[in-house]
Amino acid sequence: MMNCKEISRLASERFDRELGLLERMRFRMHVLMCHHCRRYARQLAFLRRAIRRLAAARATRGPRLSAEARARIARRLDTATQDPR
Ligand SMILES: [Zn+2]
């Protein structure tokens, strides 16, 4: 059986390339038995979907914030990190 380190690598790689039959079987077997890897694989899939949705939303949305608004937010963030409460 593959260990968790190998499985976490496959969990990521399966989004970049098609896994071989043996890899897919080993991955599924491991994930069935290991809730840590199951959770990790689920979180990766969730993140990937969220990032894709965000990218799609960014591509279709209207005007962006003005330079003034961005500067104002940046100043507020600076203040917040200097004086956290
Ligand atoms: Zn595992």
Distance 27 CA to ligand 1 centre (A): 9
More confident residue, 24 or 83: 24
| pLDDT at position 84 | 53
The answer, as to whether pTM is greater than 0.75, is no
Q: How far is CA 75 from CA 11, 28, 68, 72, in A?
A: 39, 48, 11, 5
Are 30 and 1 contacting, i.e. CB atoms less than 8 angstroms apart? yes
Quote the domain boundaries for residue 73. Answer: 4-82
CA of 75 from ligand 1 middle (Å) equals: 43
Measure 46 CA to ligand 1 centroid, in angstroms: 18
Query: 3-class secondary structure for 8-55?
Result: HHHHHHCCCCCCCHHHHHHHHHHHHHCHHHHHHHHHHHHHHHHHHHHH
pLDDT tens-digit series, residues 21-76: 999 999 999 999 999 999 999 999 999 999 999 998 888 876 678 889 999 999 99
pLDDT band per the 50, 70, 90 thresholds, residue 80 = confident
